Chains A and B, each alone.
Chain A
Amino acid sequence: MEGMSTIVKKVSQLVAGIIFMYGIYIILHGHLTPGGGFAGGAIIAGAFILLILAFGSSALNLKKEVAGSSNTESVAILMVVILAIMSLLMGIKVFFTNFLPKGEPGTLLSAGVIPLYNIFIGIEVAGAILTIFLALVIFKEESSK
């Protein structure tokens, strides 16, 4: 896959950072404003896809990237299960209990474990979408050779 022209490369370099920050904001404020792990993870994956489309696949080592993204999503889903088991061990013996202090509703540091779940689900969604996209790109590269 070829990269695009210099103007496209420069503009996507500038915009991708802002999109990435917006995704992180959506994830961290998931319990206060519309959004959450699913939306934020998809936005972060979109930022990476924009960069890959603009710069072409020759600019990066695809095999290493896909190994990294699939490892990341594996670790993220493992962390979700570990959080659930931690709530089984602490407090009342139920899966997915909210065992941390709730805090004052409406502030950033509130809602117990929900922000943690949001962060890990966001990483998982971003990793999964990026893995599928990179697998398609690698398949195209290998078959066009």
Chain B
Amino acid sequence: MTVYLLCFVLFLVGLYGVITRRNLIKIAISLSIMEFSIFLILVLIGYIDNGLAPIVDPGSNAQVYVDPLPQAMVLTAIVIGLATTAMLMAIAIRLYRKYKTFDIREIKNLRG
């Protein structure tokens, strides 16, 4: 149970960053940290004691394998995470060129 609790703490650290930071780069980092904690908790749920990695050996008898469903879901989510982070970076560098700052509150005031 401590593992799930620590995963939840990692999620809360990311959420704290999103709520309190005002720098766009820091917000992107916090979003990535939240993503990582979700990946880890999904894979932890699918783990089975003494289970094998989900690659079947055709010759051998039936054995216990780790649940492949959460792994397949996380595999797509990791690649989507890269795409969203790259999108955020594109938006951030574009805003920096226009306003010369990463501060979101100042960008909101300078709008126009």
Chain A: residues with CB nearer than 8 A to chain B? Answer: 33-34, 36, 38, 42, 105-106, 125, 128-129, 132, 135-136, 139, 143
Interface residues of B in 37-62 (CB under 8 A from A): 53, 55-56, 58
Secondary structure of the A side of the interface?
helix
Q: Does B83 contact A (CB under 8 A)?
A: yes
Contacts of B86 in A (CB 8 A): 129, 132, 136
A129: nearest chain-B partner, CB-CB: B82
| Complex CA–CA separation, A36 to B89 (angstroms) | 27
Question: In whole angstroms, what is the CA distance A106 to B97 when docked?
Answer: 53
Total inter-chain residue pairs, C-beta < 8 Å: 29
Q: Bound state CA distance, A42 and B78, in angstroms?
A: 11
Smallest CB-CB separation from A121: which chain B residue?
B79
Report chain A residues within 8 Å CB of B76. 38
Docked-complex contact A125 and B58, CB < 8 angstroms: no
CA distance A128 to B90 in the complex (A): 14
Q: Mark B70-97, 1 if CB is under 8 A from A, else 0.
A: 0000011011001100100110011001
23 contacts between A and B (CB under 8 A): A33-B55, A34-B53, A34-B55, A38-B75, A38-B78, A38-B79, A42-B79, A42-B82, A105-B56, A105-B58, A125-B79, A128-B83, A129-B82, A132-B86, A132-B90, A136-B86, A136-B89, A136-B90, A136-B93, A139-B90, A139-B93, A139-B94, A143-B97
